[in-house]
Amino acid sequence: MGGATGSLAADWPPPYPAVGLTARENAPCARRDPALGRALGVSGGWVCHPGLAPRKSQWCFNPRMSSLRGYAVGVAVVIGSLAGACAESESSGISTARSDMTPLVDAACGWMFGCCTSDELAYQVGTFTGDADNCSERLLDAIEAGVPLGLEQTGLSSDPAEGLLVLALSINQGRVNVNSGAVQACADATETRECNVVAPAPDPTATRCTPGEQDVVEVTCDPDEMFVGNQNVGEECAGQFECKPPLRCIALGTAGVCARAGEIEDNCFADAECATGLICSYGNGTCSEGKKLGEACAFVDMLTPTPGTESIRCAEGLSCDPTTSLCVGGFCAPGAPCNDTASDTDCPEGFFCAGDGMGFAFSCQAPSGPGTPCSRNETCASAYCDINTATCGTLIPDGSGCAFNEECASGFCDGTATCAPTGGNGDPCMSNEGCAAGYCDFANGQICASYASEGGPCPNGIECDPTSDLFCVDLTCQRTPFPNGVACGDGSQCQTGVCFNAVCADGTSIGGACSNDGMLAACVLGSFCDLVVGADNGTCVQLLRSGQACLRTEQCWGDCVVRYGSLICDATPAFDLAEAWCDGPS
C-alpha cells in the first residue's frame, strides 16, 4: 500500500491544529490565510482528520505536502499565520478508504504476530497491543490521525497503509476506484508470506553472476491492479493510481499532473512519452513495441555501437548486443539491466555495468571503443577512460609523454612522465607499476618478482598478493579470517571475532570474567562485558535482542533507543548469529 501512494513520509512532521472545525473527517477544508499555501508552495488538497487532543478536535492538513522537503522550515516561517477551518462536506472518503484498506492492515498485523517474537512485537507496536486484531485497529487509527508509524517490515511496506489519508482524499474527490479483489489478493499474499530468513553469505570467490540464476518474483500487490484512476490529461494527481490507464502521473512544480501515454504509432520524442511496455522508435518518431528477444537490431554506426544510438531498437528491458546484432536481455545477460557499477556482479564475465552516457539506463555492456562515454577504465576496450573527456581513450605508445599509468599501452608511466615498457621477473624496477606482473622486490636488489600465493613464504612481509586479500602472518601468506592461534591485528581478522594478545582466540564464554583493560580475553561473539560503574572487571553477558529493555547501547546488537516510553534495543537483528528480523516467533 505504501508503494501505491507513497505520500506520508516517515520523517513528515505532525500537522498543526486548525481553528473553528466543523467538517467531517477527511472532508475538504479551507485555509483562512491563502498566503500560507503560497508560502509552502501548495494549493488545494487540504483535508480534515482527527486530532490527538483530549477534547474532540480535527487537524486541517494537506497529505500531499509530505513530498515537500522544506515543509518544516516553511511552517517555522509562517507558523504565526496558521489559521483555518474545515469546510462542511456532505461526504467523506475516510470510511470507504478504511474499509477498503483494512484487509491489507489485517494481513500485515497477522504476519507480524505470526513471525515476530514478543520482544520484536514490543518494538513494533508496543506491549499494549495485545493481538493482531488490536494491532490492526491501532494502526488504522494512527494512520487516520496522520501519524507516521515507523515500523520495521523487511520485505513488506514500512507502513502497511501509510497512504490511507491520501487514498481517502482521492476517493472523496472521485479520483480513484478501489479494486477490492486485487486488494484482497495482495492481503492474502502478505499474510501467507513466509517469515524472514537470513540471506546466504556471498561466495567470496565468486565475482560474477550466473545467467538465469535470479528467482522470478511474482508481483501480487500491483498498485495498477488495486487502484483504477479517474483523472484525465491535465488533471491533478497524487500518484499513478489516480490517472486513468494508460495515463502517467508526472511531477509538475509542486503537484502531479496526469499526462498522455502514447500508444502504438502515436508521436513521441522519448520513451517516457509512450505507454508502459513501449519504446519511442527514433527512425520515425512514433511509439512501438520494439524488437523482441532474439530479433535483429542495429546501431547507427556499427563500428562505434554506443548504447542509445540504435537505429533498430529493442523492446523495453532488452538491449542490442553489438557483437551479434540481436536483442538480448534477462538477468545476468549481455545487454541486461544492472545496478552494480562498481564490481559488475550482476553482469556475466566479459561485460560491465555501464550507463548510456547520461548517467542512467545501466546495462551489461562489452568494453567500448575510443570516443564512447565511460566512467571507469574497465568499460573501455583500451582499458583507459579519459577523465578529462569521460570517454574511452586511445592508449599511448612507449616513448610518448604521459600523466597516468592507464594512458600507456604498457600500463606504465615512468618517473620522467614517459610511457615505458614494463619488466619481467628479474628485471630492474623502480616501483610495482614497472613490473609486468607481481611486485618490485626492494629487499633483493630492486628487481621484479612474482607474488606468493596462499600458503607461500613471505620472509620480508611484502610477498603476498594484496589483490587476493592475502596477509603475511608468521612468514606465510594467509587469507582472513584467521583460525585460532594465528597472529592478528584486531578481531575482524579472526574467525571467532576475538584477537587476544595479538593472536586469534576463542574468547571468554558467557558468565566468564572480562575486563576493559585488555588483560583478559574479549567476550565471545554475541555477548558484551558487563562492567560495574567504576570497575575494571566484569562478566560476559549475552547481547540483548530487539525490544528488550536496556540502559546503554553496548548492551544491544544495535542501539539502545527510547520507544513507547522505555529504553529498548532497536530493530537490529543478531546477524552474526544468523538471525533475521521477524524470522519466527521462537
Whether the per-residue pLDDT at 12 is higher than 80: the answer is no
Q: Which residue has the cell 574468547?
A: 507
Average pLDDT of 549-577?
91
**DSSP 8-class letter at 171:** H
Q: Which residue has the higher pLDDT, 330 or 235?
A: 235
pLDDT at 494 over 70: yes
Q: How many CB atoms lie within 10 A of CB 379?
A: 23
Given pLDDT bands bounded at 50, 70 and 90, which one contains residue 153?
low
The partner residues of 319 in beta bridges, in order of sequence, read 328
149-163, 189-203, 312-326, 451-465, range with greatest mean pLDDT: 451-465
AA identity, residue 356: D
Q: pLDDT tier at 401 (50, 70, 90 boundaries)?
A: very high
8 Å CB contact between 521 and 507: yes
Burial class (CB in 10 A: 0-12, 13-18, 19+), 370: middle
Read off the pLDDT band of 371 (50, 70, 90).
Answer: confident
- Over residues 277-305, the mean pLDDT reads 88
Q: How far is CA 233 from CA 230, 236, 270, in A?
A: 10, 9, 18
- Over the Cα atoms of the chain, what is R_g? 31
Specify the higher pLDDT residue, 46 or 105.
105
Phi, psi of 38 (to 5 degrees): -65, -40
Residue 363 CB burial class (10 angstroms; 0-12, 13-18, ≥19) = buried
State yes or no: pLDDT of 89 exceeds 70. no
Confidence of residue 519 (pLDDT cuts 50, 70, 90): confident
Average pLDDT over residues 303-323: 81
Residue 490 pLDDT exceeds 50: yes
Average pLDDT over the chain reads: 75
Reported confidence tier of residue 543, pLDDT bands at 50, 70, 90: very high
pLDDT band (50, 70, 90) for residue 317:
confident
How far is 262 from 247, CA to CA, in rounded Å?
A: 9
Contacts of 194 by beta carbon, 8 Å cutoff, 6+ apart = none
**For a pLDDT cut of 70, what percent of the chain falls above it?**
77
Q: Which pLDDT does position 38 carry in this prediction?
A: 26
Angstrom distance (rounded) from CA 161 to CA 144:
10
Whether the per-residue pLDDT at 360 is higher than 70: the answer is no
Residues 497/574, Cβ–Cβ less than 8 Å: no
Q: What is the pLDDT of residue 165?
A: 67
CB 319 within 8 A of CB 295: no
β-strand 352-354 against 363-365: which pairing, if any?
antiparallel
The one-letter amino acid at 381: A
Q: Is the pLDDT of residue 64 over 70?
A: no
pLDDT tens digit sequence for 256-285: 899 988 999 999 998 888 888 899 998 899
C-alpha 9, offset from chain centre: 16
Tell me: cis bond preceding 246? Omega within 30 of 0 counts.
Answer: yes
Using left for φ > 0, alpha for ψ between -120 and 50, and beta otherwise, residue 6 falls in: left
For residue 481, is the peptide bond before it cis, meaning its omega torsion is within 30 degrees of 0?
Answer: yes
The conformation of residue 428, written as its DSSP 8-state character, comes to B
Q: CA nearest 439: which of 451, 430, 456?
A: 451
Which residues is 462 bridged to in the sheet?
Answer: none
Beta-bridge mates of residue 236: 257
pLDDT for 524: 86
pLDDT of residue 7 exceeding 80 = no
Give mean pLDDT, residues 439-462: 90
pTM: 0.59
**In the structure, what pLDDT confidence band is assigned to residue 232 with cuts at 50, 70 and 90?**
very high
More confident call, 197 vs 80: 197
Determine the longest span between alpha carbons in the chain, in angstroms. 93
Boundaries of every domain in the chain? 2-189, 513-577
HSE-CB for 387 with a 13 A CA cutoff: 6
Concatenated DSSP letters for 464-502?
B-GGGTEEEETTEEEESSBPTTSB-SSGGGBSSS-EETT
Q: Which residues contact 416 (CB under 8 A, 6 or more apart)?
A: none
Task: Report the pLDDT value the prediction gives residue 291, as an integer from 0 to 100.
Answer: 92
Helix (H) or strand (E) holding 392: strand 391-392
